[in-house]
Amino acid sequence: LRYSPLVCAPPPLTFQVGKGSKPGHLILTPNVATISDVEIKEHGGDDFSFTLKEGPTGTWTLDTKAPLKYPLCIRFAVKSGGYRIADDVIPADFKAGTTYKTTLSI
């Protein structure tokens, strides 16, 4: 008998939309603590023009004067190096308390 080491793929990155979120106030909680510098690009936008503020409990918050244009793309730095982009993660009909899965694994 030969045994091979079992390699488990990391789970996909998810973002939970926090309670109290609404179109101009967004609270995101990722399922990993190894990201930083979270930015948002609105639907139809050319660049990542909104930077979220990191809270003490692993949350990322953004307040805007006008409602955001959904779906949102999220760009973030991985603490091990480099940036990643998750396209159209938060839909226009998002619900606070819901977790949205990306196609990325960290």
pLDDT digits (tens, 9 = 90+) for 14-67: 999 999 999 899 999 999 999 999 999 999 999 999 999 999 889 999 999 999
> Across-strand partners of 36?
77
| Residue 106 domain-assigned (yes or no) | no
- Could you tell me if 103 and 13 are in contact, meaning their C-beta atoms sit under 8 angstroms apart? no
pLDDT, tens digit, 9 for 90 and up, residues 82-95 = 999 999 999 999 99
In the sheet with 12-17, reading across from the earlier edge strand, the strands are 53-54, 60-63, 25-30, 12-17, 99-105
| Residue 3 domain-assigned (yes or no) | no
Whole-prediction pTM: 0.88
| Residue 30 domain-assigned (yes or no) | yes
| Residue 5 domain-assigned (yes or no) | no
**How many residues are given for the chain?**
106
What domain count does the chain have?
1
Q: Where in the sequence is the domain holding 28, given as residue range(s)?
A: 12-100
